[in-house]
Amino acid sequence: MHLDDEKIIFLEEKANDIRESIIKMLLAAGSGHTAGPLGMADIFTLLFFHSLNHDPKNPSLPERDRLVLSNGHICPVYYATMAHAGYFPTEELLTLRKFGSRLQGHPHREFMPWLETSSGPLGAGLSQAVGMAIADRMDNGLNAQKYIYCMLGDGELDEGQNWEAIMLAGKEKLRNLIAIVDRNNIQIDGFTEDIMPLDNLYEKWQAFNWHVQEVDGHDFVAVNTAINKAKSVFEKPSVIIARTIPGKGVKEFERDFHWHGVPPNKEQAKMALDELRTLGGKIKSEHK
């Protein structure tokens, strides 16, 4: 689907609103992950407000696209985007990680049945997505119209199970499977290339018979074009390696792996919200 200028402005504003919600959620929770959720806000915004076939008023729509969050620790962006899209009230976001809340530190489908999977152990999500893609093909053959999206962290690719799933998907030529890798180059202990070098990811996925694209994960047009190209590939699964900035939107947090698994305190949250609100005002003023 094409993105016009008006839609791009809408997505920019919405992504900024979602980043504000993420900061508020993490402050209220007093725990959680900051860098990944902020870095993936643009991609989740594009998916839920443009790319995905879904209906918040009918979450069990049979023909809906499926989204599997394999790197479940970035769920604040998942929850915030779903709330802004109308799945549940945004006020509930402030219950993140609270006792009895539906919004646990990793998504739990028993609490939120409109989630496609529960996620926790890294490395399992792509296997689940491969299973969904195979099941859809068994049900609908080559006429299958729904797409299975799987969100992956780059540090998560240290897990061997991913590569078994990648190998199987390539062998089965799962054209209805689209993986999106958050290539932000950090994980909890440091930079990915120091802990377990991953590059050249493009060539590695390609060697397993995947259609591979690498894009700027903050460029709505580039990511949308990559998704459209992925949908036009009929002989293999697709992966989009999205180069993102961890902590995107808050200069103090950006590219700092120490923000991978910690929340902001009250002063840091105020600073972050002030910066995001300034950015939001700038987006609006630039497009008047």
- The boundaries of the domain holding residue 200 are 5-286
Q: Distance between CA atoms of 134 and 148, rounded to whole angstroms?
A: 10
- The letter for the amino acid at 52 is L
Which residues make beta-bridge pairs with 179? Answer: 150, 239
Q: Distance between CA atoms of 44 and 246, rounded to whole angstroms?
A: 14
pLDDT given at position 140: 85
Q: Distance between CA atoms of 226 and 97, rounded to whole angstroms?
A: 34
For residue 284, what pLDDT band results from cuts at 50, 70 and 90?
confident
In the chain, the percentage of residues whose pLDDT exceeds 70 is: 98
Statement: residue 231 has pLDDT above 70? yes
Q: Distance between CA atoms of 3 and 225, rounded to whole angstroms?
A: 9
pLDDT given at position 120: 81
Average pLDDT of the segment spanning 239-256: 98
Q: Distance between CA atoms of 265 and 271, rounded to whole angstroms?
A: 10
Backbone dihedral angles phi then psi of residue 195, each to the nearest 5 degrees: -85, -50
Q: Is 90 exposed, middle or buried (0-12, 13-18, 19+ CB in 10 A)?
A: middle
- What's the pLDDT tens digit per position in 97-135? 999 999 999 999 999 989 999 998 899 999 999 999 999
pLDDT given at position 254: 97
- Say how many domains are in the chain: 1
pLDDT given at position 280: 86
- What's the pLDDT tens digit per position in 174-217? 999 999 999 999 999 999 999 999 999 999 999 999 999 999 99
pLDDT given at position 132: 96
Q: Distance between CA atoms of 218 and 220, rounded to whole angstroms?
A: 6
- What's the pLDDT tens digit per position in 139-155? 987 666 799 999 999 99
pLDDT given at position 80: 98
Which residues make beta-bridge pairs with 183? Answer: 243
Average pLDDT of the segment spanning 276-286: 85
Question: Pick from 77, 90, 88: which is nearest to 42 by CA?
Answer: 77
CATH label of the domain that carries residue 178: 3.40.50.970
Please state, rounded to an integer, the average pLDDT across all residues of the chain. Answer: 95
Q: What is the dihedral of CA 115, 15, 24, 109, to 10 degrees?
A: 0
Statement: residue 288 has pLDDT above 70? no
Q: Please, how many CA atoms are within 13 Å of residue 115, restricted to the half-sphere of its CB?
A: 23
